């Protein structure tokens, strides 16, 4: 209420008040009064199903092919606009239809200014009452707008954007999207998204899509373009998902879903539309992966025969400890796979420290006992070296006629050594090789590669996996990862891999004590770290990637490094960040593991599974910015020796959501449980983010729920089992659509 404005109002506001009347009396008929006449939102419990138009198959196939046409076939898209779309990675008609809104303005939930509250994301519509340029700190020129919606006035500031006066003028009606905050004693919105109000949006629709924009694409024009495009295609596009599947799953029609994801009639409609389209993405992805798998599995592998008592004898000879039940189960899974002439393609998931190496070594021994070669590829040379030492020690204890010769192949060995390894692999005198990307270089040939193992597989692309496989006739493949991905999601994303999970830790591990620390207690945290250093331990301090830019990221890590060098001036502090060359990173990691640094300041690159048993503290700054799975990975870097270990989480923004997540980390030490929780709380983005780029282009990734994944998986397998080549008449269009997806995917990789 204006009259009750506090007395300590900045002088600026007075001016605003004096000009108010002038505008209000200047009877502008379009003046927004703050009370919109918008129809109540329609509800929709179930998506409607309509009868399909009877298209003849050729016609339908033709229309579907139209999805591949470049965007320029759309009326109104010229070369200039094509360039803009290029930047948004929209190239074809299909891309355009899948260019889903990143948000929606729900005009039925429009907030009037007198009801705004701080820190809640809102949409506000109002008339610009006044604009002005303010001179801020350091002579920065800010642009200020006073917005009136008939219920109150709102200050809107565009920091540093004095030029906005060219676009926003008094008396214009605009729509703002942003989050009010308290400034002085009033609410204001800083740097909101905005656009001019299109009166049609108020009168005809209640939910308005918000598309990503770029230079040359304006909100309203794009919306109009999308509207005509979506309407045109939604009417014509034949639904490639068989009717029987839609009946079973109670999903919406394709055309209806397309219309409603772009221009929802109501929020229920939007939900149903998303369900359908998420289902499509997952279904197509799986069918395409299953298709690939069928192709490469059609080339037989040499079966490896393993006697029943081999595993027991081997394990007894080489390990002082008993394997856990989960390790043994995984070994059995593999043994069954490799006995077949279909090449194995198995993913071994196990938390950090769960003992995946022992499984890998046992399987490599099986290959060797069959007179085959085995290779293990790791993402960094330090990791490869660690595996090399470990595995050659272990295999040296192997019984039997064959005394395996184990070699190391990384970028850092001398060229003479490299030549020797090349020769040994080619003539078969080397049985086992451990290495990095160096293994998939052209010069490397194997006499008879029977088994390939990839450690930390998410660090490698699909192609690199393929290249390693290509080094043998068609070797069995075991890929390992410590990134816990919930089972349903893993089965969906890696539909071509069989899954073994080590869900049990070797006995006798001291749990890592995990604590969330308030930023104000940072000093105390540092003294705690120092007390550990005094006892001879080492510490990691992780800094989040604040910006999506390596450069800025490196700078902030650098600053942290300098600060911590002062804090721990008695100790040696090292720095590791994303901008360093792989060789530099390796050097720093190896120096740290040899104790040449006491504290290692690092950005997320330290994820890689290097063992530093002497490290007992992991401090994570900005902990709220990481996904739980990732935090759990970091935590796994400590507690690898016999020392009690600690993980200290310092959030920089302690929202209730962040609190809940970090608390989960305090209480739970099982990575899979944490991944499930993360999935529920934040969607699968973090889990997918760990995957290499290009392997999946999921526009709706945030909406993959466990139910959606399960549903798509079930349907994909049913279809695939009934008709693996998708040749049945009811699968023709689906086959065509899968092919389109495969072509798109091979374009991005
Ligand atoms: P990761 O799954 O992270 O690769 P590793 O294979 O490096 O884990 O194993 C972690 C540690 O646990 C190693 O030191 C290994 O020797 C030890 N280990 C593995 N399996 C067992 C077991 N069954 N009992 C006791 N210690 C084990
Ligand atoms: Mg490992």
Which ligand minimizes its atom distance to the CA of 633? 1
Query: Is 330 near ligand 1, meaning CB less than 6 Å away?
Result: no
State the pLDDT confidence band at 691, using cuts at 50, 70 and 90: very low
Query: Is 641 near ligand 1, meaning CB less than 6 Å away?
Result: no
Rounded CA gap, 19 and 165, in Å? Answer: 18
Query: Is 126 near ligand 1, meaning CB less than 6 Å away?
Result: no
Q: Does residue 430 register a pLDDT over 80?
A: yes
Is the Cβ–Cβ distance between 465 and 477 less than 8 Å?
Answer: yes
The CA-atom distances, in angstroms, between 296 and each of 274, 285, 491, 499 are: 33, 17, 19, 18
Q: Whose CA is nearest to atom 23 of ligand 1?
A: 323
Going from the Cα of 432 to the center of ligand 2, the distance in angstroms, rounded, reads 17
Going from the Cα of 131 to the center of ligand 2, the distance in angstroms, rounded, reads 60
Rounded CA gap, 265 and 610, in Å? Answer: 53
Give phi and psi for 52, each to the nearest 5.
-80, 140
Is the Cβ–Cβ distance between 594 and 532 less than 8 Å?
Answer: no
| 77: its two tokens | 């898209």
* CB within 8 Å of 156: residues ≥ 6 apart: 144, 145, 146, 147, 176, 188, 189, 190, 192, 194
Pocket test for ligand 1, best of 324, 328, 353 (most atoms within 8 A of CB): 353
Residue written as token pair 């948004």? 88
For the entire predicted model, the pTM comes to 0.71
| 190: its two tokens | 């800083």
pLDDT of residue 546: 56
Q: Whose CA is nearest to atom 16 of ligand 1?
A: 355
Give phi and psi for 503, each to the nearest 5.
-110, 30
Rounded CA gap, 678 and 688, in Å? Answer: 12
Which ligand minimizes its atom distance to the CA of 383? 2
Residue written as token pair 């600053």? 559
Q: Does residue 4 register a pLDDT over 80?
A: no
Taking the CA of residue 636 as reference, the ligand 1 atom at the shortest distance is 3
Pocket test for ligand 1, best of 358, 480, 481, 670 (most atoms within 8 A of CB): 358
Give phi and psi for 516, each to the nearest 5.
-90, 130
Taking the CA of residue 390 as reference, the ligand 1 atom at the shortest distance is 16
Going from the Cα of 446 to the center of ligand 1, the distance in angstroms, rounded, reads 29
Give phi and psi for 207, each to the nearest 5.
-120, 120
Higher pLDDT, 36 or 122: 122
| DSSP, residue by residue, 670-691 | -HHHHHHHHHHHH-THHHHHTS
Q: Does residue 697 register a pLDDT over 60?
A: no
Q: Whose CA is nearest to atom 18 of ligand 1?
A: 355
- Mean residue pLDDT of the chain comes to 84
The CA-atom distances, in angstroms, between 219 and each of 88, 98, 214, 279 are: 14, 17, 9, 28
Going from the Cα of 357 to the center of ligand 2, the distance in angstroms, rounded, reads 6
Residues 524-550, mean pLDDT to the nearest whole number: 86
The predicted-structure confidence for 611-648, as pLDDT tens digits, reads as follows 788 999 999 998 988 888 888 888 988 988 889 999 99
Residue written as token pair 């104790």? 595
The predicted-structure confidence for 454-470, as pLDDT tens digits, reads as follows 998 777 777 788 888 88
Which ligand minimizes its atom distance to the CA of 360? 1
């Amino acid at each position: 209420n204006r009259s009750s404005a506090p007395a300590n109002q900045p002088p600026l506001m007075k001016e605003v008040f004096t000009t108010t009347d002038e505008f209000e009396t200047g009877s502008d008929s379009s003046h927004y009064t703050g009370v919109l006449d918008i129809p109540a939102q329609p509800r929709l419990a179930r998506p409607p199903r309509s009868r399909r138009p009877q298209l003849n198959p050729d016609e339908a196939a033709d229309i579907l092919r139209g999805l591949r046409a470049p965007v320029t076939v759309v009326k109104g898209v010229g070369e200039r606009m094509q360039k803009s779309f290029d930047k948004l990675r929209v190239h074809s008609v299909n891309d355009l239809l899948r260019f889903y809104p990143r948000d929606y303005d729900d005009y039925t939930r429009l907030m009037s200014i007198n009801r705004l509250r701080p820190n809640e994301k809102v949409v506000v519509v109002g008339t610009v009452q006044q604009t002005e340029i303010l001179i801020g700190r350091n002579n920065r020129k800010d642009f200020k707008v006073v917005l009136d919606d008939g219920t109150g006035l709102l200050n809107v500031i565009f920091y540093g954007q004095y030029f906005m006066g060219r676009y926003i003028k008094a008396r214009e009606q605009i729509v703002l999207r942003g989050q009010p905050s308290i400034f002085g004693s009033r609410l204001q919105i800083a740097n909101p998204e905005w656009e001019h109000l299109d009166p049609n949006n108020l009168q005809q629709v209640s939910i308005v899509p918000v598309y990503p924009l770029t230079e040359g694409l304006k909100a309203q024009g794009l919306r109009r373009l999308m509207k005509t495009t979506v309407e045109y295609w939604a009417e014509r596009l034949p639904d490639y998902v068989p009717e029987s599947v839609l009946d079973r799953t109670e999903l919406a029609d394709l055309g209806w879903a397309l219309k409603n994801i772009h221009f929802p009639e109501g929020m229920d409609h939007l939900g149903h539309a998303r369900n359908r389209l998420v289902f499509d993405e997952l279904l197509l992805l799986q069918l395409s992966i299953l298709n690939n798998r069928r192709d490469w599995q059609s080339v037989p592998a040499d079966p490896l025969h393993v006697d029943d008592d081999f595993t027991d004898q081997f394990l007894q000879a080489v390990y002082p400890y008993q394997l856990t039940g989960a390790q043994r189960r995984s070994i059995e899974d593999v043994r069954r796979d490799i006995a077949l002439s279909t090449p194995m393609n198995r993913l071994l998931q196990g938390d950090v420290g769960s003992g995946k190496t022992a499984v890998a070594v046992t399987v490599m021994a099986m290959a060797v006992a069959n007179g085959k070669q085995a290779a293990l590829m790791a993402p960094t040379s330090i990791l490869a070296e660690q595996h090399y030492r470990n595995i050659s020690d272990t295999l040296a204890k192997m019984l039997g006629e064959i005394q395996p010769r184990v070699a190391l192949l990384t970028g850092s060995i001398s060229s003479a050594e490299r030549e020797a390894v090349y020769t040994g692999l080619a003539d078969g005198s080397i049985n086992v090789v451990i290495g990095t990307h160096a293994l998939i270089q052209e010069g490397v040939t194997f006499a008879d590669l029977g088994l390939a193992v990839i450690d930390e597989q998410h660090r490698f692309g699909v192609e690199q996996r393929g290249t390693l496989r290509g080094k043998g006739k068609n070797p069995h493949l075991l890929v390992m990862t410590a990134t816990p991905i919930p089972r349903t999601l893993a089965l969906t994303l890696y539909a071509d891999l069989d899954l073994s999970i080590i869900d049990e830790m070797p006995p006798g591990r001291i749990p890592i004590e995990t604590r969330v620390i308030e930023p104000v207690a940072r000093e105390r945290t540092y003294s705690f770290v120092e007390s550990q250093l005094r006892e001879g331990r080492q510490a990691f301090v992780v800094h989040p990637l604040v910006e999506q830019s390596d450069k800025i990221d490196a700078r902030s890590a650098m600053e942290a490094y300098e600060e911590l060098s002062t804090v721990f001036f008695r100790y040696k502090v090292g720095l590791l960040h994303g901008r360093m060359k792989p060789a530099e990173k390796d050097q720093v990691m190896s120096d740290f593991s040899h104790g040449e640094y006491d504290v290692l300041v690092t950005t997320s690159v330290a994820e890689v599974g290097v063992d530093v048993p002497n490290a007992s503290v992991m401090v994570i700054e900005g902990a709220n910015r990481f996904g739980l799975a990732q935090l759990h990975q970091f935590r796994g870097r400590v507690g690898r020796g016999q020392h009690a270990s600690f993980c200290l989480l310092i959030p920089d923004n302690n929202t209730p959501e962040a609190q809940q997540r970090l608390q989960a980390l305090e209480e739970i030490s099982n990575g899979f449980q944490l991944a499930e929780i993360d999935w529920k709380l934040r969607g699968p983005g973090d889990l997918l983010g760990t995957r290499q780029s290009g392997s999946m282009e999921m526009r709706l990734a945030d909406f993959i729920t466990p139910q959606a994944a399960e549903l798509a998986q079930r349907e994909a397998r049913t279809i695939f089992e009934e008709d693996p080549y998708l040749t049945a008449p009811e699968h023709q269009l689906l086959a065509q659509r899968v092919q389109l997806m495969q072509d798109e995917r091979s374009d991005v990789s």
